Every structure is written in C-alpha cells, then in structure tokens.
Amino acid sequence: LTQAQTAGQYFTNDQIKEMTRKVSAEVDLVHQQTQNQRYGSSHIGATAKDIYNVATDADSGGVDIFHCIDKAVADTWNNFWKDGKADGIGSNLSRK
C-alpha cells in the first residue's frame, strides 16, 4: 500500500493523471532550461523544490503523492540522462 492508502486517503485515476501531468510539466521545464543552459542561457528556474511544490499543492492533505507518480517522472528523468541529452551539463553547471 502507498502512504496515501495506509492513511485512508485514495486518489481517483483523474487526480493521479492531473498530478502526473503537473509534475511531468515541471520535469519538462527543467529539461528545457537545462538545454538552454547548455547552449548559453544562464539560468535554470525550475528546481526540485518547484517540482515538490507542484505535487504538494495538488494534495493539500500533505500525503506523499510521489508514490502515485514517481515511475512516470523517474522514467522521463532517467531517459533524459541515459539518452545522452545531458552530456556535459554537470560540468558546465559546476563551473559557474
């Protein structure tokens, strides 16, 4: 059982889809801004805290909803790194 289920709080499929959409949008924003960083832009605006805030805003009860959506987000993030799209980003950021 997820923490939400253990706490007696359940999400509908529509709620899970909406939360997943919001978090995925934040991950996409991080990806785009990371690409901007790679090609000369100097700022990455979305942070892990921003992503967390979107998720917790979707659940005012404070239940950890990441159990519901972590796979979709993790797959997106892992594919970003695995596919070589992030090559050199870490070294570029560490020099700032």
Categorize the per-residue pLDDT at 95 as very low, low, confident or very high, splitting at 50, 70 and 90.
very low
Residue 21: φ, ψ to 5°: -60, -45
Which tokens sit at 39?
């090609």
**Is the per-residue pLDDT at 82 higher than 80?**
no
Cα torsion angle, 67, 77, 93, 43, sign: negative
- Structural domain range at position 48: 3-94
- The pLDDT of residue 85 is 56
Task: Give CA–CA dist 55/71, Å, rounded.
Answer: 14
Task: Give CA–CA dist 52/41, Å, rounded.
Answer: 24
Residue type, 55: A
**Is the per-residue pLDDT at 44 higher than 80?**
no
- The total of structural domains in the chain comes to 1
Cα–Cα distances in Å, from 28 out to 8, 55, 87?
Answer: 32, 15, 17
pTM greater than 0.75: no
- The pLDDT of residue 60 is 53
